[in-house]
Amino acid sequence: MSFRTTLHCAVIGNPIAHSRSPEIHHAFAKQCGLKVQYERMLADNNDFADHVRAFFAQGGKGMNVTVPFKEKAFALATQHSDQAQLAGAANTLWMQDGQLHACNTDGIGLVSDLTRLGFDPANKRVLLIGAGGAAKGVLLPLLNAGVAQLRIINRTAAKAEALVEQMTQHQADYASRLEAGDLQHIAGQWDIVINATSSSLTQQSPIAQPIAFTAHSLAYDMVYGPKPTPFMEACSSYGASQCADGLGMLVAQAAQSFQIWHGVLPDTTPVLNDLRQQITL
């Protein structure tokens, strides 16, 4: 029998059955000697807020939020981190002093995974493809990590331009490092190219022409799966020195949420290795 208090956590989304978050958080908890019970919660647009309120009213410690509720989670919270504020979306909720707090750990998760792969974004030239929710969530952490240049390109260029506008309104001196364009706007040599579009879900690469990579370069797809994505395959043929999918980002964003709720940052490596094995089995 254990005398440790059970810490109740959950991930809410729709669909949710596929979520790997429970096994990731249970593995972190084991590593840190905490007793965490982390469940999946299915919601719809009408009952999302009720589920969140009931969870915290019953003493829930922390909740992750996934598609399609990240914007709703942001709107429900009364306290927002800068990352959540700029993304207009939250993946991490917790209650503190009677207030619902929201953070977005996706971007810090990405930066931490890039660093794990040997590509600390500081002083790097970064090409970010996509201007939807996934791209928006990682802009501030990439800028804060000290990228030398960040060019956002998107099929609908106006959306990329709007993101640059929003970021420079937040902080004017970002302007010198930020650019926007359409998917043809790839001239230059890139250290890190990130696919934040949903194109991999339809087995396509968002880029149809060769990208120029530097000698030590990384192509990173935020999507993950058992095989390299079409984007990773295309970048490999264009000369990227390394390609990675987003499994490491998934584990790293979970580690950041875990730290917010439980005050300790777990080691992602063993958890990522286990997950990779399960996914490629």
Which residues are catalytically annotated? 70
Residues that bind ligand ATR (CB under 6 A): 130-135, 154-156, 159, 197-199, 202, 204, 206
* Between 130 and 266, CB nearer to ligand ATR: 130
CB of 120 to ligand ATR, least distance (A): 24
**What is residue 98's DSSP assignment?**
T
Helix (H) or strand (E) holding 112: helix 106-116
Least CB distance to ligand ATR at residue 199 (A): 4
What minimum distance in Å lies between the beta carbon of 205 and ligand ATR? 8
What's the one-letter identity of residue 138?
A: V
Least Å distance, CB 132 to ligand ATR, is: 2
Residue closer to ligand ATR, measured from CB, 131 or 251: 131
**70/262 with CB nearer ligand ATR:** 70
By beta-carbon proximity to ligand ATR, the closer residue of 121 and 130 is: 130
Give the nearer residue to ligand ATR in terms of CB position, either 8 or 159: 159
Map residue 128 onto helix, strand or coil: strand
Number of neighbouring beta carbons within 10 Å of residue 241: 16
**47: helix, coil or strand?**
coil
Residue 203's alpha-carbon distances to 225, 226, 232, in angstroms, are 11, 13, 11
Q: What is the DSSP letter of 15?
A: S
CB of 156 to ligand ATR, least distance (A): 3
Least distance (Å) between residue 207 CB and ligand ATR: 8
> Shortest CA distance to 198 belongs to which of 165, 154, 261, 146?
154
Among all residues, whose Cβ is closest to ligand ATR?
132
169, two tokens: 């309104």
Longest CA–CA span in the chain (Å) reads 62
Looking at residue 11, the DSSP 8-state letter turns out to be E
- Residue 139 or 271 with smaller CB distance to ligand ATR: 139
Helix H or strand E encompassing 53: helix 48-57
Cα–Cα nearest to 21, from 105, 113, 95: 105
Sort 202 into a burial class: Cβ within 10 Å, 0-12 / 13-18 / 19+: exposed
- Tell me how crowded residue 254 is: count the other CB atoms within 10 A of its CB: 27
